Structure 1
Amino acid sequence: MPVRNGTDEETERLAQAVAAEAGRRGLRIGAAESLTSGAIAVALGKADDASEWFAGSIVAYEASVKFEVLGVTPGPVVTARAAEQMATGARERLGADAAVAVTGVGGPGEEEGRPAGTVYVAVALGDEVRNGEHHFDGDPAEVVAATIRAALSALLEGLRGG
């Protein structure tokens, strides 16, 4: 996939679609990121009129940040529960209408007994939270890129009511 300015075309397309939907609906969007280390924020921040709809992102790479800042219940963090709590915590702390969160194992080795490429994506919109489990192949950079696309897709689907 061609890459421009550190973002592939599919990621840019998805971020622009999120921007259009957020703008159309008048929603503020936030994120909570672990293995993507702020890359979702970069993608959303590059999208059209981001200053009007993008609240920001909380990068919670270390487990203690997930617990202390986002309100994740202490315990394993490579879980659907942690992703859901991250999304809800980001939505609340950023004053956003919706937030997407990602947690997982970028690799190359396993973590918390989960193989590399295991990723959880959650979207909190209002009081509803949806999540999905993914298993991506590739090196850590490829897992991160696939995670960003999955997160933006899930966010877009949530915003569209899908």
Structure 2
Amino acid sequence: MDARSLSARLNKPIKILIVLLGIGILANVTVEFYAEKKRGELERNFCESKQVRDTLARINEGAPRRIDDATILKGAACEDDSFIYDYALNSSPNLDLSALNAGDAEILKEMLFAKAKVSFCSTEFSQRLRELGKTMVLNYEIEGLPPIQLKLDKNSCAR
């Protein structure tokens, strides 16, 4: 076999590889473009986006739902580019809220914020909220105390 016929035989697989590589690059660019388009939709119409509506439907389908012995997730909503969770916090064997007064509410708020911050700064969904500049709001109804509202945004993870 001479160099010319060997070159001709190798060119065909190389051309196929180049075409496949080109298709792969095109597919990757298309996926990236689609992801950016979807991201743009999330930025412009966050609460109306399919992703947010689907997430809310999944959360609210099982609500109210007990999270732990003291916390009940009442539901979720989206308003003004904020993803909102509504909770009820009740006394439990591990937490006696009846002993708390209004002055203790600030300490409880700080404890709830610290716990919420860990989750907010580590979950994939919250990461997307931070990237989009959206806010997560956690509303707590607490027996015997005024309601507590926590707002977490992209700056919350830096504190």
Instruction: Output the TM-score relative to the length of structure 1.
Output: 0.29
Higher relative contact order (CA 8 A, sep 6+): 1
Decide which structure has the larger Cα Rg and report it. Answer: 2
Instruction: Output the TM-score relative to the length of structure 2.
Output: 0.29
